[in-house]
Amino acid sequence: MEKVRISKAAEESIQSGHVWVFSNEVTQRPQGLQAGDLVQVVGERDRVLGIGYINPRSLIMVRLLSRKDGAVDEDFFERRMRRALTLRGPAFGDSFRVVNSESDYLPGLIVDKYQDYLAVQILTYGMERFREVIITALKRIFRTRAIILRNDSPYRAEEGLPLYTEIADGSIDDQVIITAGDLRFLVDPLAGHKTGFYFDQRENRSFLKEIVPGARVLDLFSYTCGFGLHACLWGARSVTCVDTSESALGAGRRNMELNGLNGIEFVRQDGFDFLKQTDNSYDVIILDPPSFIKSRKKLREGERGYIDLNKRALRRVTDGGYLLTFSCSHHMKRSRFRDIVRVAAYGHADLYLVKELSQSADHPVVLNIPETEYLKGLVLKVRKRGE
Ligand code: SAH
């Protein structure tokens, strides 16, 4: 295996538990390495730090797979996956995120379990090489009805990989229904967003129980109405779900029926436009938009988007009501997000921080790899000025 030498700073970063080596931290590498090749990562005095995969065109040039010099094969993947399962325990029932990329030391690999179905997303060249190995390892661990490859993430295009969706094993012959929180949800692992469902908000939806009885609730960027349905279950006076995706709202409607609930209003509209046009006030507003900061270059523009959205939403929250506001952008730091929301309230409202929210435990945050934390949420009690 070819050796890739890295700088002292990168060696320290690897020793501290990180798994990335940036392109400017590679001090020596052989010519002709191809994207996805396995390499031995070497520090000072020829110390072998482990084995990783390289993409010579990527800013994150090497991602470490193993700190041992051993084989990266089916057994390796099986061990890593079993470790991920142990970390999660039985808390999530039969549907949860099994593998969350760097969080589980399998960079570039996502595996979501929807009951008897597995939806797999491979995001990098390095992982793509292990496609068949991954499928074999998964079949050793799980008795599945189907393994679906959701390799249609835009992230793959950036990496230079083709986009495709494929049933790699088995078949899907009926509806996929999972339990998440206190409700059942229809999931479409072939065409839903990402791999089909947002497990990362699971516990955050449960928080609504404390604040929604009797409340008028707005679930903006609702997707299949995970928040809105829980609000309905726990006695909200009214629930409005807003999303631009017709199919997401259609699934939301079917989820409502599936759970024997009724009365939810579904609105297909741009979230910003909805807030601009509505005269209604809400006791609880949930804002869970897609990332507005897709790259570091878009930081300022994205921040302005968050300020604008939160400002508009705060105008529509009643005095004494709640705003649950999220940012899933990697580029938004937690403290910065607080600042953004404070700016959005400028001259209009005082915000009491009731609770800070994060991603569900099946998307583990590893302190040694700060980038594993991405979902920031604030539960704010809103006091309007001058009242
Ligand atoms: N809260 C959801 C997840 C939201 S994901 C849950 O708990 O499952 C973000 C959603 O925002 C997606 O469903 C996407 O269709 C929607 N979306 C993206 N841009 C939007 C826009 N401009 N206005 C409204 N919805 C939008």
For residue 299, being part of any structural domain is answered with yes
Question: To test ligand 1's pocket by mutation, which of 205, 206, 243 has the most ligand atoms within 8 angstroms of CB?
Answer: 243
Q: Which two tokens stand for residue 343?
A: 């700016």
217 and 348 fall within a common domain: yes
| Domain-located, residue 190 | no
Residue 57 identity = R
User: Which residues contact ligand 1 via a Cβ below 6 A?
Assistant: 193, 198, 201, 221-224, 226-227, 243-245, 248, 270-271, 288-290
DSSP secondary structure letters along 197-229: --GGGHHHHHGGGGT-TT-EEEEES-TTTHHHH
Instruction: Indicate if 227 and 308 belong to the same structural domain.
Output: yes
The pLDDT of residue 386: 77
328 is catalytic: yes
- Distance from the CA of 336 to the center of ligand 1, in angstroms? 22
280 in a domain, yes or no?
yes
- Tell which one of 95, 193, 229, 244 to mutate to probe ligand 1, the residue whose CB is within 8 A of the most ligand atoms: 244
Q: Which of 127, 120, 129 is nearest to 151 (CA)?
A: 120
Q: Which two tokens stand for residue 139?
A: 């079949």
Same-domain status, 360 and 267: yes
Best of 194, 198, 217, 222 to mutate for ligand 1, by most ligand atoms within 8 A of CB? 222
How many structural domains are present in the chain? 3
Asked if the structure places residue 191 within a domain, the reply is no
For residue 166, being part of any structural domain is answered with: yes
User: For atom 3 of ligand 1, which residue has the closest CA?
Assistant: 223
Q: Which two tokens stand for residue 54?
A: 């390289």
- Tell me: do 256 and 359 sit in the same domain: yes
Residue 204 alpha carbon, nearest atom of ligand 1: 7
In this structure, the answer to whether residues 377 and 253 fall within a common structural domain is yes
Residue ranges of the alpha helices (H) in the chain?
8-15, 74-88, 125-128, 131-141, 154-159, 202-206, 226-233, 246-258, 271-277, 299-315, 334-344
User: Where does a domain end: 33, 66, 99?
Assistant: 66
At which of 177, 211, 235 does a domain end? 177
Question: Model confidence over 104-117: pLDDT tens digits?
Answer: 999 999 999 999 99
* Residue 285: strand pairing partners: 218, 323
Q: Which residues of the chain have pLDDT under 50?
A: none
- Residue 114 in any domain: the answer is yes
Token pair in block for residue 78:
């099986």
Check 225, 232, 241, 328 and give the catalytic one: 328
3-class secondary-structure state, position 54? strand
The residue nearest atom 6 of ligand 1, judged by CA position, is: 226
pLDDT tens column, 130-174: 999 999 999 999 999 999 999 999 999 989 999 999 999 999 988
pLDDT of residue 68: 92
**Contact predicate 230/205, CB 8 Å:** yes
Structural domain contains residue 189:
no
Together in a domain, 149 and 264: no
Print the domain residue range for 35.
3-66
Q: 347 C-alpha vs ligand 1 centroid, how far in Å?
A: 28
Do 52 and 85 sit in the same domain of this protein? no
CA of 245 to the centre of ligand 1 (A): 8
* CATH number, domain with residue 157: 3.30.750.80
A 10 A CB-CB count for 90 gives 8
DSSP state of 365: P
Is there a single domain that holds both residue 50 and residue 79?
no
Who's near 46: CB < 8 A, 6+ residues apart?
none
Residues 95, 217 within the same domain: no
Contact (Cβ atoms closer than 8 angstroms) between residue 49 and residue 21: no
Residues 258 and 143 both lie in one domain: no
pTM of the model: 0.96
> Are 375 and 228 within one domain?
yes
Of the residues 17, 46, 66, the one at which a domain ends? 66
Select from 80, 85, 83, 105 the least CA-distant residue to 97: 85
Residue 369, helix vs strand vs coil: coil
Residue 55 lies in a domain: yes
Per residue in 162-214, pLDDT (tens digit) is 999 999 999 998 889 999 999 999 999 999 999 999 999 999 999 999 999 99
- Other Cβ atoms less than 10 A from the Cβ of 30: the count is 10
Supply the CATH number for residue 41's domain: 2.30.130.10
Whether residue 173 sits in one domain with residue 255: no
Bridge partners of 385, per DSSP, are none
CATH number assigned to the domain comprising residue 373: 3.40.50.150
